[in-house]
């Protein structure tokens, strides 16, 4: 297959982890005979520096011509005091909205070899295998905003259609996984939550094979820690999803290895590691590229339908961990930390020799 | 001293834990020569059953005549399908708003003898001693709400004055503790958060002895698990506070022992355990009364200025735990679970013999 991919390295460790993931992508292309055509463009702080715009028109144009987008990370102290319209994160919010990437998929799965790094007891974290589905282009993020010196407000607003499409998406995912869906809201307080809950109830008629539960956001914030193994697919709105997906990202000790996908109804999508730009270690060649490599796997699966290729990457990364190779963020006492390139070499070697 | 206290047993285990805490309160009254005058009134499901109103006028009137309110818990499956205006939680939201109880204080402190029950590794949870200060009468909970079949919205709105008073409250508390304040917002997205952050910056000039940091809500949701010992006082808005305080409540394994206070600028306040009404164990006499007993301690301290009395209750509860006595929710393998009454007897015995 021929696929066009826009690569947005971004800031901090973004360029390093993206370079590593691109190496893996090229090996997969060669092995499976795909023609991955890469174009590079700017986003975030790097784009502000170069174009005075966190999401330049050139970048949008290139993404429009592509089948998928691979993003590193945006942000850093250099731009922290910029005015709102020149903040790196705005590039992220704008690319989501411009391309209508309404579904943010955040899988969290325990790697047995990483559980020592988890803040949770092994028996609590070891069976975790969940997917948070966060609505990404609506809600309080994009509702009307006002501020003067005396008062400020943000409108949390959802249309039926916005809720329906994310809920359908979550049901479809649950069906492909263990068939359990937890819808998270604050229906005892918010009207948006009541509409949300009503729509989940309507949709569940169409998915009799999926077991649905409704749970309040405060209660889920607890249970994600006390019993994370309970969850399969979790669907929620933009703001709750922001909080809960980050909370969930630390329970298995594998924040540095978590990928994400931001997709829409067709196959186009944006893929990025969950971790941020980590400016404190940027440029040293020591960042963990696993999350970005696994984001490439999600791209292969969700945008290109290449299930076998995706599984091969996941298998390779997992084997490297099982063999005891880690970057500095995950290395165990007495072990040697691999550099970004060394870790990537191991993953590639694993792919090369595996068939 | 003479103090009038309205007691609102509420639903589920509420009446049982409140009865236990009242026993402790009476012992303290006798020992320290205070005249605690108690009046009982209805709230929540119990009030719906009796008066068709989750917060009857009689209850409001009695609270108005009191110096403080002690609440058990509200809610249960019996009322889960009631219309919005006949939901037990509404009693809670209304009493907060009616009495302008804008500051919700939620201390979370690790008891060494309870850490086995924590989902976190001992070394992560053992130094936790934090206080979440949640704004309780504003924000998206009380802003304008709309809903029809096609669209729903909730307005998140804060005035300068609403933010100022909760922020001042948090600074004062930080000053009395370890002098650290973490203000939590989502200033990269929300205008309410930007006003919030600006006001924290203004106020910090008046508290040069307090070290302030700003942190994003998603980031705090992670760090509360990976490094909860980092926090001293955490101040945030109503919605973020709801989520983060519940998340924080499970990190030390002591959800069943966490108290809370909802206060305003004068000394009046409402005190209640953090745990809910636990209908599944109601009426069996096995509920853990520690959280409600410790809520009485907060009442003595914050509403009545009785520091010594409050400390005495905390010491007694801690000693009972140290001596290895637990109710069913916390009992260790092989240990015998105390009933609500037996546990309360132990606490009272500890107070009786201690001076
Ligand atoms: C950078 C920020 C605007 C963004 C968000 O809140 O969506 C980030 O936290 C994320 O989750 O991708
Ligand atoms: C019952 C509910 C309305 C309430 C809230 O969200 O404030 C509860 O969760 C709490 O935290 O006291």
Tens of pLDDT along B208-255?
999 999 999 999 999 999 999 999 999 999 999 999 999 999 999 988
Q: What share of chain A is helix, strand, coil (3-state, %, to 5)?
A: 50, 20, 30
pLDDT for B354: 56
pLDDT for B245: 97
Reported confidence tier of residue A354, pLDDT bands at 50, 70, 90: low
pLDDT for B334: 85
Would you list the domain boundaries of chain A?
1-106+256-355, 129-250
Chain A residues near residue B278 by CB distance under 8 angstroms: none
Chain A residues near residue B243 by CB distance under 8 angstroms: 217-218, 221, 240, 243
Over range A35-43, report the average pLDDT: 98
Ligand 1 atom nearest A89 alpha carbon? 1
Q: From the candidates A90, A154, A162, which should be mutated to test the interface with B, based on the most B CB atoms within 10 A?
A: A154
pLDDT for B314: 97
Over range A217-242, report the average pLDDT: 98
Starting from the CA of residue A244, give the closest ligand: 1
Distances (CA, A) of A282 to A9, A75, A129, A132, A276: 12, 12, 30, 28, 11
pLDDT for B107: 97
Residues 226-265 of B with CB under 8 A from A: 226-227, 239-240, 242-247, 249-251, 255
| 3-state secondary structure at position B115 | helix
Round the average pLDDT of chain A to a whole number and report it. Answer: 96
Q: Is B247 a pocket residue for ligand 2 (Cβ < 6 Å)?
A: no
**Minimal-distance CA residue to ligand 2 atom 10:** B242
pLDDT for A332: 87
Does position A353 have pLDDT exceeding 90, yes or no? no
**What is the C-alpha end-to-end distance of chain B, expressed in Å?**
20
- DSSP conformation letters of A296-353: HHHHHHHTT--HHHHHHHHHHHHHHHHTT-EETTTPPTTPPEEPHHHHHHHHHHHHHT
pLDDT for B177: 97
Give the domain A1-106+256-355 fold: Isopropylmalate Dehydrogenase (3.40.718)
pLDDT for B91: 97
Reported confidence tier of residue B299, pLDDT bands at 50, 70, 90: very high
Judge whether B51 and B42 are in contact, CB under 8 Å: yes
B86-95 tens-digit pLDDT: 999 999 999 9
A247-274 tens-digit pLDDT: 999 999 988 899 999 999 999 999 999 9
Residues with CB under 6 A from ligand 1: A 89, 92-93, 242; B 188-189, 218
pLDDT for A355: 56
Q: Which CATH class is domain A129-250?
A: alpha beta
A97-108 tens-digit pLDDT: 999 999 999 999
Regarding predicted confidence, which is higher, B353 or B115? B115
In this structure, chain B runs to a length of 355
Round the average pLDDT of chain B to a whole number and report it. Answer: 96
Selection from A200, A93, A73 nearest residue A136 by Cα: A93
Return the CATH superfamily for domain B1-109+257-355.
Answer: Isopropylmalate Dehydrogenase (3.40.718.10)
Please give the Cα distance from A21 to A15 (Å, whole number): 10
Regarding predicted confidence, which is higher, A88 or A255? A88
Please give the Cα distance from B14 to B12 (Å, whole number): 5
Active-site residue set of B: 141, 186, 218, 242, 246
pLDDT for A250: 96
**Minimal-distance CA residue to ligand 1 atom 8:** A242
Please give the Cα distance from A166 to A195 (Å, whole number): 13
Tell me whether residue A154 is one of the annotated catalytic residues: no
Choose which residue among A55, A89, A244 to substitute to test ligand 1 binding: the one with the highest number of ligand atoms within 8 A of its C-beta. A89
Over range A125-139, report the average pLDDT: 97
DSSP A38: E
Give CA B231 to chain center in angstroms. 18
Please give the Cα distance from A291 to A273 (Å, whole number): 5
Over range A184-191, report the average pLDDT: 96
Chain A residues near residue B194 by CB distance under 8 angstroms: 84, 147, 152
Reported confidence tier of residue B84, pLDDT bands at 50, 70, 90: confident
């Amino acid at each position: 297959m021929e696929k066009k991919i826009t690569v947005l390295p971004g800031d901090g460790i973004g360029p390093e982890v993206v370079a590593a993931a691109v190496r893996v992508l090229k090996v997969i292309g060669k092995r499976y005979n795909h023609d991955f055509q890469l174009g590079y463009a700017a986003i975030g702080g790097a784009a502000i520096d170069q174009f005075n715009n966190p999401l330049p028109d050139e970048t949008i144009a290139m993404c429009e011509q592509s089948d998928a987008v691979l993003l590193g990370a945006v942000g850093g102290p250099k731009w922290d005091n910029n005015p709102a319209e020149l903040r790196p994160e705005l590039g992220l919010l704008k690319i989501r909205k411009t391309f209508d990437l309404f579904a943010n998929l955040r899988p969290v799965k325990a790697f047995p070899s990483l559980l020592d790094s988890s803040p949770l007891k092994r028996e609590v974290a070891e069976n975790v295998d969940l997917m948070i589905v966060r609505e990404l282009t609506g809600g309080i993020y994009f509702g009307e905003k006002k501020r003067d010196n005396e008062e400020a407000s943000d409108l949390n607003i959802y249309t039926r259609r916005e809720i329906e499409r994310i809920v359908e998406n979550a049901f479809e995912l649950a069906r492909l996984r263990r068939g359990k869906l937890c819808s998270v809201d604050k229906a005892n307080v918010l009207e948006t939550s009541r509409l949300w809950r009503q729509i989940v109830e309507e949709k569940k008629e169409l998915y009799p094979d999926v077991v649905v539960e409704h749970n309040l956001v405060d209660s889920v914030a607890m249970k994600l820690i006390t019993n994370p193994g309970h969850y399969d697919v979790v669907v929620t709105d933009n703001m709750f999803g922001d909080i809960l997906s980050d909370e969930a990202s630390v329970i298995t000790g594998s924040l540095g290895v978590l990928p994400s996908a931001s997709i829409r109804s067709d196959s186009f999508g944006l893929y990025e590691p969950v971790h941020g730009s980590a400016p404190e270690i940027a440029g040293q060649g020591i960042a963990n590229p696993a999350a970005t490599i696994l984001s490439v796997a999600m791209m292969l699966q969700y945008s290109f339908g290449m299930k076998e290729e995706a599984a091969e990457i996941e298998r390779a990364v997992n084997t490297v961990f099982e063999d005891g190779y880690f970057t500095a963020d995950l290395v165990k006492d007495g072990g040697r930390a691999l550099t970004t390139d060394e870790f990537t070499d191991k993953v590639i070697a694993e792919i090369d020799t595996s068939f």
